[in-house]
Amino acid sequence: MTTIMKRQFMRPVMLGAALTLSSGLAQAGDQSPWQSGEQVYAKVCGHCHEAGIGPTIKGRNLPPSYITAIVRHGFRAMPAFRSSFIDDQALKSVAEYISTSPATQGKE
């Protein structure tokens, strides 16, 4: 499967995941369902970035402000995640986690 085909396939999958998770957020009320940046990464980001669909982002020392901008506004095949899906504090936590994490073992 080519990269373009993977991206085209993953767009509806990501939309479905975003809708499913955002419906859970609406039910959660004011409490953030996110416990840590690591949890956000595992439950949301890792599905693409650990599977070779999105680029490797851990171990690259990306600035948290850059990560935050990409998450909020999207970039290329990366969808935008609104604050109703990932609150500002959780976004800050995951940006810090990604920025300071070493590269995943076995990945280039």
Q: What residues act catalytically?
A: 77-78
In this predicted structure, the answer to whether residue 80 has a pLDDT above a threshold of 50 is yes
| Dist CA 44 CA 65 (whole Å) | 18
**The total number of structural domains that make up the chain:** 1
| Dist CA 59 CA 21 (whole Å) | 27
Of 22 and 78, the one with more pLDDT: 78
pLDDT digits (tens, 9 = 90+) for 8-63: 666 666 655 554 555 454 444 556 678 899 999 999 999 999 999 999 999 999 99
The answer as to whether 105 is a domain residue is no
Write down the pLDDT at residue 108.
47
* Sequence letter at residue 67: I
The answer as to whether 108 is a domain residue is no
Write down the pLDDT at residue 67.
97
> With bands split at pLDDT 50, 70 and 90, how would you rate the model's confidence at 99?
very high
The answer as to whether 91 is a domain residue is yes
The answer as to whether 106 is a domain residue is no
The answer as to whether 107 is a domain residue is no
Write down the pLDDT at residue 31.
65
Span between the terminal Cα atoms of the chain, in Å: 20
> With bands split at pLDDT 50, 70 and 90, how would you rate the model's confidence at 81?
very high
Range of the structural domain that residue 89 is part of: 3-100
SS3 for 50-107 is CCCCCCCCCCCCCCHHHHHHHHHHCECCECCCCCCCCCHHHHHHHHHHHHHCCCCCCC
Write down the pLDDT at residue 12.
64
Please report, for the domain that includes residue 32, its CATH number. 1.10.760.10
Write down the pLDDT at residue 5.
57
| Dist CA 27 CA 23 (whole Å) | 7
Which pTM does this prediction carry? Answer: 0.67
Main-chain phi, psi angles of 50, to 5 degrees: -100, -15
